[in-house]
């Protein structure tokens, strides 16, 4: 069993000011797999003070020094990658292939993207006699979620270091051990004392203290819309910048000329991936009304063939939901779909057959869903697909945009020009055409209640920089 009761503050592992042990539960077994400490405002004060002391020197480091530091982090991470994958598998239930090849692998992907962006980032720009410079914003509070834990840590810490900021990380207390290993990676890589600090805790104890703290200049938050609103409200009195990456209810539009078998099958599989616990999951599949039955049949076949089980077992494709609370939420929403009249094509409430323990859910497909149903409006964050019929392209766009979220969108068509036209009308921060993958150098973020920040690549660095105009920098000609 893992036990890590200390925090990483000012380049050292230190005891919490007030002990508050907290059990971490393995969602596949419902048993304790480790123990951490939950921090308090006093711990946050110590970490912020360390970051504030470190900022003047680190903010003045050269581009070349920060390039070398990020490369050292990549080198150290490679030594611990499998250990990070093991931690993610145990703490949030990702099957081994997903934990190793996607979850743990996302860490160096984002650090590498920050390194690439840093090498050519334009920190200075001349306009006549005026110099416009971008400078590190200062001390940053970083709050990250449990669903893609190291992914979200790396796509905040990497750009923050590249920009020259110092920081305090509060990872999710539900999935904390990958973050603690990551802190050891940064320490071994030679990150200067106070530049990176980690305090474990919950939202009420540590998250609120970070957002309110007068010596924190910027908050970067990934999580629920409710959590993002709380961070923004707590940050408002000190007028600090708040960058938010929140939820989603992404539409997957299959136009009538799409390769239907492939598009439906891949869309359903993507919805179930990571047990549906991805903010950009394509959870609303929009299909031509005449093809509704076909889509439901294909998606149901995918659901019924998806192997759910212990993440450590060979061949398992989908692990458990992260917690009992999440399991209960997903079960209630599946029942809500049934009660509101959606057609259950596969899955349903309860655990999969043969599983009596663990927070496992059945991959579920609803057909004939109306966009005003709860399952089409709320972010379920579980392996639940809603198939919604539409009349024509205009109707598909209308349905896709009829949501409080705007994180991602998906369009499938054999006519690329047509797909581009539909993509241009979607009110989302990202659109995938014909299954295109994410680009780690492109901005990740959304519209509306999906947030107001952008992460990854050079746009991720923008969030951690202030802009200064120096007039008369050169004598006017």
Q: Where are the domains of the chain?
A: 2-246+451-470, 251-439
Q: How far apart are the first and last CA of the chain?
A: 70
- How far is residue 360's CA from residue 414's CA, in Å, rounded to a whole number? 37
Instruction: Cite the active site residues.
Output: 245, 279
For residue 475, name the pLDDT band (cuts at 50, 70, 90): confident
Dihedral pair phi/psi, residue 38, rounded to 5° = -95, 130
Residue 241: strand, helix, or coil: strand
Name the nearest CA neighbour of 44 among 216, 177, 258. Answer: 216
Q: Are 268 and 318 in contact (CB under 8 A)?
A: no
Give the model's pLDDT for residue 476: 65
pTM value? 0.97
Tell me the pLDDT tens digit for each residue of 352-409: 999 999 999 999 999 999 999 999 999 999 999 999 999 999 999 999 999 999 999 9
For residue 477, name the pLDDT band (cuts at 50, 70, 90): low
* Fold of the CATH domain 2-246+451-470: Aldehyde Dehydrogenase; Chain A, domain 1 (3.40.605)
The residue to which tokens 């390194």 are assigned = 115
- Listed in sequence order, the DSSP H helices in 127-176 are 149-163
Tell me the pLDDT tens digit for each residue of 76-101: 999 999 999 999 999 999 999 999 99
Cβ atoms < 10 Å from Cβ of 324: 12
For the segment(s) 251-439, the CATH number from 3.20.20.210, 3.40.309.10, 3.80.30.20, 3.10.20.90 is: 3.40.309.10
- How far is residue 104's CA from residue 365's CA, in Å, rounded to a whole number? 29
Residue 378 in tokens: 């709320």
């Amino acid at each position: 069993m893992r036990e890590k009761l200390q925090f990483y503050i000012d380049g050292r592992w230190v005891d919490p000011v007030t002990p508050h042990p907290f059990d971490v539960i393995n969602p596949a077994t419902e048993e304790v797999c480790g123990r951490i400490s939950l921090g308090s405002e006093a711990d946050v004060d110590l970490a912020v003070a360390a970051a504030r002391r470190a900022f003047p020197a680190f903010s003045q480091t050269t581009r070349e020094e920060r390039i070398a530091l990020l490369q050292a982090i990549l080198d150290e991470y490679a030594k611990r990658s499998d250990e990070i994958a093991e931690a993610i598998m145990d703490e949030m239930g990702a099957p081994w292939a997903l934990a190793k090849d996607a979850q743990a692998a996302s860490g160096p992907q984002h650090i590498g993207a920050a390194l690439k962006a840093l090498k050519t980032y334009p920190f200075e720009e001349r306009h006549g006699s005026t110099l416009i410079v971008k400078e590190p914003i200062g001390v940053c509070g970083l709050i990250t979620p449990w669903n893609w834990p190291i992914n979200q840590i790396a796509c905040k810490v990497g750009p923050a270091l590249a920009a020259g900021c110092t920081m305090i990380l509060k990872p999710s207390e539900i999935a904390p051990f990958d973050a603690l290993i990551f802190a050891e990676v940064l320490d071994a890589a030679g990150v200067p004392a106070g530049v990176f600090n980690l305090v474990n805790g919950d939202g009420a104890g540590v998250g609120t203290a970070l957002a309110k703290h007068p010596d924190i200049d910027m908050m970067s938050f990934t999580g629920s819309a409710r959590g993002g609103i709380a961070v923004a409200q707590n940050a408002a009195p000190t007028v600090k910048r708040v960058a938010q990456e929140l939820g989603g209810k992404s539409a997957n539009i299959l136009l009538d000329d799409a390769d239907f078998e492939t598009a439906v099958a891949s869309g359903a599989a993507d919805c179930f991936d990571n047990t549906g616990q991805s903010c950009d999951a394509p959870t609303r599949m929009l299909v031509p009304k005449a093809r509704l039955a076909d889509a439901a049949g294909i998606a149901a076949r995918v659901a019924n063939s998806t192997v759910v089980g212990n993440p450590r077992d060979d061949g398992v494709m989908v692990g458990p939901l992260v917690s009992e609370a999440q399991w209960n939420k997903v079960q209630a929403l599946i029942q809500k779909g049934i009660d509101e009249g959606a057609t259950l094509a596969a899955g349903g409430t309860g655990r999969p057959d043969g599983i009596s323990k663990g927070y496992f859910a059945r991959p579920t497909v609803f057909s004939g869903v109306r966009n005003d149903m709860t399952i089409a409006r709320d972010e379920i964050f579980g392996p639940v697909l809603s198939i919604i019929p539409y009349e024509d392209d205009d109707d598909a766009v209308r349905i896709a945009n009829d949501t409080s979220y705007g994180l991602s969108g998906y369009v499938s068509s054999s006519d690329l020009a047509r797909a581009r036209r539909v993509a241009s009308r979607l009110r989302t921060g990202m659109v995938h055409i014909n299954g295109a993958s994410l680009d780690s150098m492109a901005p990740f973020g959304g519209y509306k209640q999906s947030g107001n920040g952008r992460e990854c690549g050079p746009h991720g660095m923008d969030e951690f920089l202030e802009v200064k105009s120096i007039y008369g920098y050169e004598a006017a000609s």
